[in-house]
């Protein structure tokens, strides 16, 4: 009787091996998605000021302020169309080399970010408009609402459907 049970278990294990291998194959991440995840991890190292492996709200706020200050070349607290265009051009040209091969994509995101942040549509982005936009944007990363963005949460943001951003914004606004 024990030999029969052992035989059945062995046969089941052999039959399940291809199913297990197929399941592992399905879990593999496509190359393009893996590259996105790697870029996300690079982002975390750039913004993680205290180097603890996670992003805190304060770190993101400092990063937002720094980015605004870099773009606000005349230091008047408002980004003019010329200043936003110059900031985008610096990214596209690779002058701020931290973006590497994704400089063009980041420049396009930055251009859109400025456009969306300009709530009053006066073609200028105030510090308050920019910080309000970035706060809403960054809240999307913190999936569990604990004020800390783990690598998993930041990485998972790549998997979000773009419409989820618009939906969350409509609820908040």
Residue with tokens 């456009």: 115
DSSP H helices, the chain, are 2-27, 31-47, 57-71, 81-93, 103-117, 127-139, 151-156, 162-172
Q: CA 145 to CA 168: how far, in whole Å?
A: 13
Give the position of tokens 């190359």: 31
- Print the domain residue range for 143: 2-172
Domain holding 54: CATH number? 1.10.238.10
Q: Select from 26, 32, 67 the least CA-distant residue to 46.
A: 67
* Residues 151/44, Cβ–Cβ less than 8 Å: yes
Q: What are the pLDDT digits (tens) for 105-139?
A: 888 889 999 999 999 999 999 999 999 999 888 88
* pLDDT value at 148 more than 60: yes
Domains identified in the chain, total number: 1
- Return d(Cα 52, Cα 91) in angstroms, integer: 27
The structure tokens listed for 116 are: 């969306």
The pLDDT assigned to 166 comes to 42
**Average model confidence (pLDDT) across the chain:** 77
Phi-psi region of 41 (alpha: psi -120 to 50; beta: other; left: phi over 0): alpha
When pLDDT is cut at 50, 70 and 90, the band that residue 140 belongs to is confident
In this prediction, residue 157 carries a pLDDT of: 59
What pTM did the predictor assign? Answer: 0.64
Q: What average pLDDT does the segment 145-160 reach? A: 74
| Rounded mean pLDDT, 65-82 | 96
Instruction: Please give the Cα distance from 58 to 48 (Å, whole number).
Output: 10
Q: What is the pLDDT of residue 143?
A: 81
């Amino acid at each position: 009787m024990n030999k029969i049970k052992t035989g059945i278990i062995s046969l089941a294990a052999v039959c399940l091996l291809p199913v297990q291998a197929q399941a592992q194959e399905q879990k593999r991440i496509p190359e393009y998605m893996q590259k996105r995840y790697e870029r996300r991890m690079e982002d975390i190292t750039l913004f993680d000021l205290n180097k603890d492996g996670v992003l805190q709200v304060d770190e993101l706020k400092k990063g937002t302020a720094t980015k605004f200050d870099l773009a606000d070349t005349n230091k008047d607290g408002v980004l003019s169309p010329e200043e936003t265009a110059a900031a985008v051009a610096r990214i596209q040209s690779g002058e701020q080399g931290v973006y590497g091969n994704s400089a063009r994509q980041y420049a396009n995101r930055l251009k859109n970010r400025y456009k969306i942040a300009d709530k009053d549509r006066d073609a200028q982005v105030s510090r308050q408009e920019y910080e309000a936009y970035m706060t809403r944007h960054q809240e999307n990363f913190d999936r569990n609402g604990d004020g800390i963005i783990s690598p998993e949460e930041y990485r998972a943001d790549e998997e979000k459907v773009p419409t989820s951003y618009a939906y969350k914004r409509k609820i908040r606004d």
